[in-house]
Amino acid sequence: MKTLKGEIVANRKYSDNLYKLEVFSPYICKNAKPAQFINIKCSRQGSDDPLLRRPFSIYEIDEQFNVFSVLFLVRGRGTQFMADLRKGESLDFVGPLGQPIKIPENDSRFVLIGGGIGVVPLCLIAKNLKSIGKTVHFFAGFKDEAFYTWERDLIKILKDYKIFSENGVFGEKGIPLNYIRENFSEFKDHHFIVCGPLEMLKQAQSFLKDRKVRAIAIMEEKMACGIGACMGCVIKIKNKNNGYSYKKVCSDGPAFDLMEVCFD
């Protein structure tokens, strides 16, 4: 991990509030692994407001051109700042951060379920799984049209995917978990990797737990340092004695065993 400055190669608008920021960085392209993230300074040089860096999963890595990207939704001050960045400007970020996801070597078939912006880390994971010859089914669910044009990125990674939208404006109407429920026999010996809103993770946990399916969750929490030094970004993880302990999303995660995450 390093503090880096990378030239912005492109900032592509996918929809009203979804952007893909492409950044030149040989260091990240060489060192970053799936599920890792970077911590972006979202204020001008010399300004400290907004103060904290913002964490973003690494979305794509183009090793040929040494360009990686992050895909982000505009939510507040930091992401608005990012949306306003222009080609040629410099991005100040720290990375790669977090533990690379540990792919269970013995499993060969994977189901990836992404909810909303949760699809981001799954894309790099999917690409990686494919490259090592695993079978991957990708399910993505969205609330609204923000991701309408995003399919063009997904289709480059794999063909076996299904996109759902709650209101049916694009893809199939519904949510991925319902589809999985209804067609569970197809997936029962797959390894699941899920990323998305807490409610989705919670439902996935309870559904998969009953069926004794193994699953990895990619988690989020508010961060300060992003490198494991401040104890700010903890979530509750079950431990052996039926209790829990706090684990750091930034340095113990962001990938955790879904069954060990406490949602309460």
Partner 1 sequence: MTDYFSDETGLEVRMGNIVLKNPVITCSGTFASGIEYSKFYDVSVLGAITTKSFSLERMAGNLPPRICETSSGMLNSIGLQNEGIDYFINEQLQEAKKLGVEIIPSIFGRDLDEFKKIAYKIKNIEEEIIAVELNLSCPNVAEGGIAFCASAEQVGNIVAATKEILHTGIIVKLSGHYNNISETASAAKKYGADAAAVINTIPATAFDIETCKPKLGNITGGLSGPAIKPVALLKVFELAKENIIPIIGIGGIMTWQDAIEFIIAGASAVGVGTANFIYPECGRDILQGIKQYMRRKNIGDIKMLKGIAISNIIKG
Ligand X SMILES: Cc1cc2nc3c(=O)[nH]c(=O)nc-3n(C[C@H](O)[C@H](O)[C@H](O)COP(=O)(O)O)c2cc1C
* Nearest approach, Cβ of residue 38 and its own copies (Å): 22
The two tokens of residue 77 are: 């001050």
Residues 70-99 close enough to bind its own copies by CB under 8 A: 77, 80-81, 84
Binding-site partner at residue 155 among partner 1, ligand FES, ligand FAD, none, CB < 5 to 8 Å by type:
none
* Nearest approach, Cβ of residue 51 and its own copies (Å): 9
* Nearest approach, Cβ of residue 37 and ligand FAD (Å): 4
Binding-site partner at residue 44 among partner 1, ligand FAD, its own copies, none, CB < 5 to 8 Å by type:
its own copies
Q: Which of 73, 146, 227, 259 binds ligand FAD (CB under 6 A)?
A: 73
Q: Which of 46, 88, 133, 243 binds its own copies (CB under 8 A)?
A: 46
Residue-wise burial string across 48-82, b where 16 or more C-beta atoms lie within 10 A, e elsewhere: eeeebbbbbbbbbbeeeebbbbbbbbbeeebbebb
Nearer to ligand X, 83 or 224 (CB): 224
Residues 225-264 close enough to bind ligand X by CB under 6 A: 230, 232
Give me the residues that bind its own copies (CB under 8 A), please.
44, 46-49, 77, 80-81, 84
